Structures are given as structure tokens and as C-alpha cells.
A = this chain, B = another copy of it.
Amino acid sequence: MADNKKMVEAITSMDEDFAKWYTDIVKKAELIEYTSVKGCMVIRPYGYAIWENIQRILDGMFKETGHENVNMPMFIPESLLQKEKDHVEGFAPEVAWVTYGGSEKLEERLCVRPTSETLFCEHFANIVHSYRDLPKLYNQWVSVVRWEKTTRPFLRSREFLWQEGHTIHATAEEAIAETEQMLNVYTTFCQDYLAMPVVQGRKTDSDKFAGAEATYCIEALMHDGKALQAGTSHYFGDGFAKAFDITFTDKNNKQQYVHETSWGVTTRLIGAIIMTHGDDSGLVLPPAVAPIQLVILPIAAHKPGVLEKAAELKEKLKGIARVKLDDSDNSPGWKFAEYEMKGVPLRLEIGPRDIEQNQCVIVRRDNGEKLVVSLDELEEKVPQLLKAVHDGLFQKALANREKRTYACRTMEEITAALEQNGDGFIKAMWCGDEACEDKVKEVTGVGSRCLPLEQEIIGDTCVCCGKPADKLVYWGKAY
């Protein structure tokens, strides 16, 4: 704090200007800072600590499902990028090119990886020979670069952090099962740790990853009714294997191509957390990834015994939750605003009168509820309250999504639903024709987000052309 008397500055209200509200939070909760490198950002300690929690939990889930971490080079020679035609078409327009090493011009340009399928394929071709070498279940935690024109912190930046899983399998069935398994891992992570409900689905052909046979995704609905793709899992079939000649000798001594998958989530998840749970007082963090789960604020700290008791509570709770004691000389009012801004799930206040009565006050960040808790019950209550905050956040987000999901049977219904209720998910039937997909977007402004895995029948004709249709699509405006 540069000045302990300064006030925590108010942020723009969400209803007034959602985009401004968002950037106010990322700056004022000290998640990021801009740099002189356009489209790139510093992830500050508080923001990075959220990412470390995300990493730790997900990495554990990956390892439990048999995956191993590796590290690939950050550069891809141009000729390697070009080996799979769809892939290079999808990525070449948005890569950064290294052309000089020191003062020497390179013989071949290298791109900074936008994603690493090509590098993994080259490696797999080198190390896989027999069915005994399969499957390979690899992952890496790195940053990638995509030369985006317009950028927004966490949501779209030229460099971002992510994990990318890359696996190869002896059969298509196994690879498809892996693709589905990882989609489920992401779903569990988003719902059980980030308190963020997601729709599992499959992208339409026009929206697939460059080079994929099928792209599965999880889609979440933000506070403003826009959709955010929170994670993807791709099935490649043997397309890359053929382009990179990744073969193995099967049990019958026959040469076969491997079947491949890749899957990833990014620091975008932090943007999703902000826009799912945040409010006009700032960030609201799901307890599982909050760097501080409970902040202890001594009240009337100059009175004898208060600081000592606050420190004692910290010691008592530190094995149970991530606890911070703020015994700085900032005012209680300032501290309340500061830790609300930072989205700390629980605030514990302890003052002279509380001490007399062997109690404290705990305030929930998600709904402002104040609870008087006996100091003897703290160790039991804190985990219960953290769980209650998680559940409260999930239910609130789910209710928001349900309120903002509109089943529509005609283009007119779509337009009317969006106008009357604001942006949200549109559920509507689709015939499968790309022309209809494009026209829905052109006319109503919502694009296809996914074909949900849980299909429902809400009609039998295409929302656009009126011809027979048996596919339910979620449509929405996207981040």
C-alpha cells in the first residue's frame, strides 16, 4: 500500500460498463499489470497464486489419470509447422516469427509455438516403435504465443499460460475415450473447484481445432450473458500420425498409425472466475483456488490482547485453511474494502468484546452473511463455511445460467429473447447445414457454441431453414 490513508478506489459498476468493470478488477485486485510489450501482461503475485492453485489441482488430476509432464522447445521450424495442412492454415497467420539469432539471419524461420502438436508429433515418431510403447500420455505447462489484434487481460493475450496434453494410442477407441476422459476432468475441475457450471459439448465442423476430427469443449456463461469456452479436448484420428509418420508394430507384427488427442486449458480460466463470480465490490474467489481463504482482521487492535489473540487464531487455523492475518495500521474500513476487492472468501473479525465472549465474527464474501462463531468451534466451522461459499457460488452461477438460457424455435424468437432478457445461451434445433449456422449468426448475432453432449429435443425443424433437424445447438455471443 503506497499510502495507508488512501481509500480502496471504487470500481465501475458491472451494469454500467461490464468491460470497464472487468478491467478495473484485474488492475485493482492486483492480478495483472500492463507492459510495454503490446498484448502481453505481467501476472502479479496475487494473480499468479490463483494460477498456481489451478495448476496444482489440475496437475494432480492429470497424474492420477496416468499422465506425465514433459517439456518441448518453444520454437517450431517453419517446415515442421507446415507438415499438417489444416493445422498450418489455422495457425500460420497468427504466429510470431524468429528470423535472427544474435546478428545472424536464420536459414529457416522459427515460429514461437502457438500450440505444440507438431513438436509432439516429431517426438512421438522418434520414440515410438512397438505397441509396447503405447499409449504415451504427455502434458506440458508452458506459455504459447498467438499474434492477436485485439487483446484483453486473461481472455485474449498475445502470450498466455496453459497446459497442453498430447497423447497417442493404439486404437481410435482408446483415443476417443481419452478425449472424453479429459473433457470430464475439466468439467469436474470447473464445477468442483471453480464453482463454475459448464455445458459439455462438441464443436460444429466450422469451429473445430485446426487439424482435429472432433473438438469437444466446455462452455460457461458469464455474468453479462456472454459465453466463454473454458477448455477444449481434441480427437485427431490418425491425421497427424500420417502427416508425421508415427507408426508402431502391433501384436500381429503389422505397421499401424497411432491415434492422437490433445487438450488444454489456459489462464483464461482466471477471466472466467472473475466474470462468473465477481460483483461490484470486486473479485469473488472460489475457495479452492483463493490464495487467501480467510483473512483475520483485528478490531481495535491497540487494545491489550487483541493482536495476540488474532495471532493465536492464525496459528490455530493455518493447517486448516490458507490464512492471512492483516495486523497493519490500515483502518478496518480500508481492510474490509481491500479484502472484498481481492475476493477473499471469509473475513474473520476479532475485537476486545469478541474475546471477552470467546467468539468472533465471520463474514462470507459471496453473500455478505455475518456469523458469530465460538472460538472453540472455529476449526470445525471454517471448512464448513468454505464449502458453503463454494456451494453458494455454484448455485448462484447455475441460477444465472438457467435464467439466461432461452429455448427458441425461430429466428424471431431468438431476436426477441435476446432483446427482452439480454444476452444468454440460446437453445435451438439445427439441420447441420453450415449455411444455416452462418445465417443465424449474421441475423441474430449469436454463433454456435456447441452441440451439447446431453441432447434434448425441443423441436424437429431447423431454427433457420425450417427443414427437418435433429441436432440441438447452444448458441451465444462469445468471448
Binding site for B on A (CB under 8 A): 1-4, 33, 35-37, 40-45, 48-49, 51-52, 68-77, 80, 92-103, 109-110, 112, 119, 122-123, 126-127, 129-130, 132-133, 138, 142-143, 145, 147, 158-159, 161
Contact = CB atoms under 8 A, between A and B. Distances in A.
Contact of A75 (B37, B69, B142): B37
B126 A33 contact: yes
A74 B70 CA distance: 20
Contacts of A49: 68-69
Contacts of A93: 102-103
A42 B71 contact: yes
A36 B159 contact: no
A80 B38 CA distance: 13
A145 B41 CA distance: 19
B133 A2 contact: yes
Contacts of A70: 42-45, 48
Contacts of A37: 73, 75-77, 110
Does more than half of chain A's interface fall in helix, strand or loop, or is it mixed? mixed
Given A97-B100, A98-B96, A99-B97, A77 B36 contact: yes
Contact of A96 (B68, B101, B133): B101
Given A2-B130, A42-B119, A73-B159, 6 more contacts: A1-B133, A41-B73, A43-B71, A74-B112, A74-B145, A94-B101
A109 B237 CA distance: 39
A112 B42 CA distance: 15
Contacts of A77: 36-37
Contacts of A33: 123, 126-127
24 contacts: A2-B129, A4-B132, A33-B127, A35-B72, A35-B119, A40-B73, A41-B73, A42-B72, A42-B73, A43-B70, A45-B68, A48-B68, A48-B69, A48-B71, A71-B143, A74-B143, A75-B159, A92-B102, A93-B102, A93-B103, A94-B101, A98-B98, A98-B99, A112-B112
Contacts of A73: 35, 37, 40-42, 159
Contacts of A45: 68-70, 138
A3 B132 contact: yes
A73 B41 CA distance: 6
Contacts of A159: 73-75
Across chains A and B, which 5 residue pairs bring their CB atoms closest together, nearest first?
A40-B73, A45-B68, A101-B147, A97-B100, A43-B71
Looking at A95, A101, A126, A143, which has the most chain B CB atoms within 10 Å of its CB?
A101
B94 A102 contact: yes
Contacts of A35: 72-73, 119, 122-123
A387 B142 CA distance: 34
A114 to B, nearest CB: 10
B99 A95 contact: no
A142 B101 CA distance: 20
Given A99-B97, A100-B96, A122 B69 contact: no
